[in-house]
Structure 1
Amino acid sequence: MKINVENFNVSFGNNHILKNINLKIPRNTVTSLIGPSGCGKSTFLRSINRMNDLERDFNHCGRISIDGEDIYDEDVDVVDLRKKVGMVFQKANPFPMSILENVAYGLKIHGMKDKCKILDIVKKCLKQAALWDEVKDKLNSSALSLSGGQQQRLCIARTIAVSPEVILMDEPCSALDPISTLKIEELIHDLKKDYTIVLVTHNMQQAKRASDYTSFFLDGEIIESGLTEDIFSNPQMEKTEDYILGRFG
C-alpha cells in the first residue's frame, strides 16, 4: 500500500471533523472521495500532506503512513513531505508569471539552477499534462492568459515538476466546462502510471469514470470503501446507495 490510514481523527477546537478513518490506498491507482458538502473529504485530503497544520486549533490522533512512514512523526520534514505529496486545488491558481516560470517555480525553490535541465523538465511536464502542443510557442506569455482548463492543466504540470509520488486533487474540474473536464479526466488516467492519485469529487459520473477505488464519506466517517465498480453497482450500505442514487446530498 502507498498510503495507509489507521484510526485517524481530526478536530478543530471542539469540532470533531474526522472520526476514526481507516483506509488503504494502493500505489499507482486513483481513489475518489465522494460525499455531501461538509462531510470531511477535503479535510482528509489536506491531512495527507499536513496542510491542516496551518489551521488554528488543529488537532489529530491516529496515523497516516506513506510507504510505511508516519507522516505526523516529529522527525518528518513537512517541506519534504509536501514535495512528495503534491496538491491541485479546486480553483486553478497559476502564479502571475510566465507559463515557463510557473512550471519551473518549484524546481528553482528546491535549488535547481541548470537552465537547460529546467527547460527539459518543464517540457516533459507540460507534455505529461497534455498542454505542450497548446503552449509550446508562448512559454514566455503570462499563465493568466490561458483558459480555465489550460490553467488547471498548468497547475498539474507545476505539481508534477518536483517529482511527487502522490497527487491530491480537490475537485479539480468543478469550475471547468465539459470538454476541459474530459481532458483532465484523461490526464488523471494517464498520470496514475507514475503517481498515486487521491481525488475529491462531487461528480458521481466523474468518480465512476476516473477512479479505481471509491470511499464514501458522511458526517466525518467513511461509510463504505471498495472498488469503484462495486461501490456504484452493488453498494453494501444503504446510506451509500441513497447517496449514489441522489436521495440526499
Structure 2
Amino acid sequence: MSRCKPVWSPIAYLVTDADGVILEANGASAQLLNVPQAYLVGKPMARYVAEGDRSAFRTHLNQLSYQRGSQVWQMTVCPRGKQPFATEWHVATLAVSTKPDIPHPNGQIEIRIAVYDLSHSQPENSQLEPGAVMQPSNLKPQTSPPALPLPQSLDGLRVLVVEDEADIREFVTAIFEAHGIGVKTVSSAAAALEALEQFRPDVLLSDIRMPDGDGYGLIQQVRALEIEQGRHIPAVAMTAYLEEDREKAIKAGFEAHLHKLARPIEWVELIAQLARQVSH
C-alpha cells in the first residue's frame, strides 16, 4: 500500500515577511482560507492558524531568522466561517537585502509557504504540476525546534485593545498572540471601562475615533480612576488618520501614539518598551 501525501492541486501558495505578514497570496490560498484574494495581503498569517497551534507557529517563525533551507510544519488552519482542518506547510526562506555585503539573517526575509490540505490525500508517487516553485520531494520533515525564550517584557504580558472595527481587532490580536502576548478586545469606551474592572492589563491600546465615546474621553476617565486606585496603565493611542495630533494624544494622557498602518513589529516593540518602563 503506497504512503499518502497531501493533495496540492491547485497549490495554496503564500509569501510573508519575517513577521508573518502576508505579502503575496494566490487564488488557491484565498479559496483555502475562504477569503477574497486581495483581502489577504497585509494580514498576519497567524490570524488563520488555530489558537492551539499559534505557539508552535511563533516558535517556527522566530527560528527562521537563524536557519537556512526548507522546513515542513504541521498546522491546523482556521478558514473564515468554516471548520478548522489540518494542513502541512512546506516553508522556505529567501534573504532579501539592498546591501549585498549584509548576509542573512541580518537582511530582510521573505517566507515562501506551500500549504497542503491534509483532509484529502493522494498516493506519494503522484506528480506535481510542472513549474511548481517548491518540490516536496526535496523537503525533509523536521521535528519542532526548541522554543526561543520570549523577552521578559513580553512573557505573560496582557493587553486590552479598544477598537470599534472588527477587522482591526482581529489584526491586532493576531500580531500580539503571535508573540505570546495575551489580548482582550472590546468595541467601545464603555465596554473598556467595564473590562478594566475584571481584566487588569499591562498596557491599554485605544482607538481615538469611535462612534460611542472617543479615545480622549476614555483615557481621561481611566486616569481619573487610577488616582483613586493608586495604579497606572501605560496607554497607546491608535489612529487611522494621518492628521491625528500626537501631541494632543500625549496631553490627553496617552504615553504613545501609533498609526494603524505601522509594521507589526512596531506594535510589538512599543508594547515591550512600555512594559519595560513599568517594570523598572
- Calculate the TM-score normalised by the size of structure 2: 0.28
Task: With the length of structure 1 as denominator, give the TM-score of the two structures.
Answer: 0.31
Q: Which has the larger radius of gyration?
A: 2
Structure 1 or 2: more helix by fraction:
1
